[in-house]
Amino acid sequence: MKKPLKMRYIGDPVLVTKAKDIPEITDEIKELSAEMLQVMYRNNGVGLAGNQIGLAQKIVVIHVDAPEDKDGNPLPLETPGEQFLYPKMPITLINPEIVEYSEAQCGYEEGCLSVPKLYANVIRSEKVVLKSKLLDGSEFVLECGGFLARAIQHELDHLDGIVFVEKAETEDYERIRPAVEKMIKKNGFKNFKVRRRV
């Protein structure tokens, strides 16, 4: 019997490890994707990267809902990536990479399943061009915008060994820093240092 996947929390060395390419999409990878989605849903997340369940492999699952206005009416999907990916949700990205970032940026309060219950403002590009394979082996290169673009940047940071608090706005980071440090100690990682990247 296989051991169930376990969430990894800030301080765990796997979260600062660069993930490796997945050479081929096997039945094991498809099974892993399904298990990762279960972990993500169980924890009420919208994305989960391989590192977060202890596997430094380039796999990401994402389930974000298409944008709506305050009355629940669908908003237009402005980029080809949104038009292509939203109808396929939940999606699994294999060996994803961002090949271009827009100069236009915006801030948004982010959270993370590996840093539970803590939120901080992070400035990111409004749009990115994503190159990735899907679970069926098909490959695409498409511009993504909106909340999808943010989720992609957040999850792909994990594959580079970056946790969102490292990119949080300084004022926000200082506000949550005591809780972050407490979390690191609680998870048993004494000498872990958050590498700030702002």
Per-position pLDDT tens, the chain of length 198: 567 899 999 999 999 999 999 999 999 999 999 999 999 999 999 999 999 999 999 999 999 999 999 999 999 999 999 999 999 999 999 999 999 999 999 999 999 999 999 999 999 999 999 999 999 999 999 999 999 999 999 999 999 999 999 999 999 999 999 999 999 988 877 778 889 988
pLDDT at 190: 74
pLDDT at 25: 98
Q: Which of 110, 155, 169, 171 is catalytic?
A: 155
Q: Which of 82, 75, 5, 14 is nearest to 37 (CA)?
A: 5
pTM: 0.96
- Extract the tokens encoding 10: 């800030």
pLDDT at 4: 82
pLDDT at 82: 97
Contacting residues for 99 by C-beta, under 8 A, at least 6 apart: 129, 130, 131, 141
Q: Is 155 a catalytic residue?
A: yes
Q: Assign domain 13-65+78-186 to its CATH architecture.
A: Alpha-Beta Complex (3.90)
pLDDT at 191: 77
Phi and psi angles of residue 6, each rounded to the nearest 5 degrees, phi first? -120, 135
* Domain limits, the chain: 13-65+78-186
